[in-house]
Amino acid sequence: MAKIKLNNVRLSFPSLFRKAVFSGEETKFEATFLLDKQEHAAKISEIEAAIDRMLQENLKGAKLKEDKICLKDGDDIDYDGYAGKMSIKASNNKRPKVLDRDKTQLTEDDNRIYAGCYVNAVIELWAQNNQWGKRINANLLGVQFFKDGEPFSDGAVASDDDFDVFEDEEDFM
């Protein structure tokens, strides 16, 4: 395992206070972190070296497909804000520590952590080699708010103008 601290990275798809839900099933606490290819070049190299070490030491030099490694090239991902970045997804069955700049605990009601803000994060890379296959994964250990950023869009929502005013059910039929 390799514990890695990410500083001043953009947060995407955060499920830090409640487990993510896919197809009606609760999964894990998770988040994706975006590292700028230039600004975070040294950190990206550190992550890549740790992944290479795990492939050699834990997976006997196995050649894994890109989708089996938690670090991905954002240029290959069609999401807003991912171009020019590397993305790394981390998850955990246990709720990660979520802190503000002054190290006080944050809650979901604080509305401080959101997709698009910048955070510091602690993750732990690990090699999976079991009945579910071989992969390089990342455990999500903790997140600290660093600074505000342009929020990622959550998709379109209806505006008040999309609706009509009516008094009775018959008025709308």
Report how many domains make up the chain.
1
Tell me the pLDDT tens digit for each residue of 118-140.
Answer: 999 999 999 999 988 999 999 99
- Within-domain flag for 128: yes
- Within-domain flag for 72: yes
Tell me the pLDDT tens digit for each residue of 59-84.
Answer: 988 899 999 999 999 999 999 899 99
Q: Which domain holds residue 43?
A: 2-153
* pLDDT tier for residue 165 given thresholds of 50, 70 and 90: confident
DSSP class of residue 91 equals E
- Within-domain flag for 173: no
- Within-domain flag for 126: yes
Length of the chain: 173
- Within-domain flag for 142: yes
- Rounded alpha-carbon distances, angstroms, from residue 87 to 17, 47, 135: 21, 11, 16
CATH number where 126 lies: 2.40.50.140
Residues sharing a CB contact under 8 Å with residue 73, sequence separation 6 or more, in sequence order: 86, 87
Phi, psi at 160, each rounded to 5°: -60, -35
* pLDDT tier for residue 19 given thresholds of 50, 70 and 90: very high
- Within-domain flag for 171: no
- Within-domain flag for 143: yes
- Within-domain flag for 163: no
